[in-house]
Amino acid sequence: METSLKKPRPKESEISIELERIGTSPQIKSYQLEENVYLIAFRFRPLENVSGFNIPLKTRKIYYSQALDEEELHEINLEDFDFKEIYLPLPNGLISFSDRDFIVKNDEKIHLAAWIDEENMKLGFLVENSPQQPSFDWEFYYIRGDKEKH
C-alpha cells in the first residue's frame, strides 16, 4: 500500500474582493484553502513606473499588526489623522480593509509596506521605479471573518 504525504493542491476559486491593477496586466489566481481563507497569487511584470494593486477600503478603522507586537491587532482610525496617505510596514503582513476582511501578504515572497490613501479610500501594494525584471510573484492570503477568531 502506497501512502502519499503530499497535500492535494487546492482548486482555483473566485474571490469576492476587487483588485485594482496598477501599471501592469497581471496573472491572478486564487485558491480556497479552507472556509473563508483564500490564497491569491499575483504574478506580474511592471509596465509603468508604479505597479501593483489597490483594494478599496470599506472602513476608516484599519486593523493591523505593528512591529515588535505582531501577536496583537492594533486599530487606527483614519479620521484621527491629518495625513492623506501613510505607509505601514506590516512585519507579519496582516491588515484589514473592512470590518471583516483581512489581507496577509506572504513576507517570504515580498516584503512591501502597505500604502493607505485616506483621501481616495484605497489600500495599495505597489512597487515604484522597479527594475525591468521578468516578473514579480506575490502571494497574499485573504481571510474573511471576525477579527477575534483569527
**pLDDT tens series, the chain, 150 aa:** 555 556 666 787 788 889 999 999 899 999 999 999 999 999 998 888 899 999 999 999 999 988 777 778 889 999 998 889 999 888 888 999 999 999 999 988 888 899 999 999 999 999 888 776 678 899 999 999 876 655
Instruction: Count the Cβ atoms, other than its own, within 10 Å of residue 137.
Output: 12
Q: Which residues pair with 37 in a beta bridge?
A: 34, 143
Length of the chain: 150
Cell of 54: 489597490
Which residue is associated with the grid cell 485573504? 142
Please report whether residue 126 resides in a domain: yes
How high is the pLDDT of residue 120?
95
pTM, rounded to two decimals:
0.84
Please report whether residue 120 resides in a domain: yes
The domain tally of the chain equals: 1
How high is the pLDDT of residue 4?
55
Please report whether residue 98 resides in a domain: yes
How high is the pLDDT of residue 7?
62
Please report whether residue 68 resides in a domain: yes
Which CATH number characterizes residue 57's domain?
A: 2.60.40
Contact 54, 122 (CB under 8 A): yes
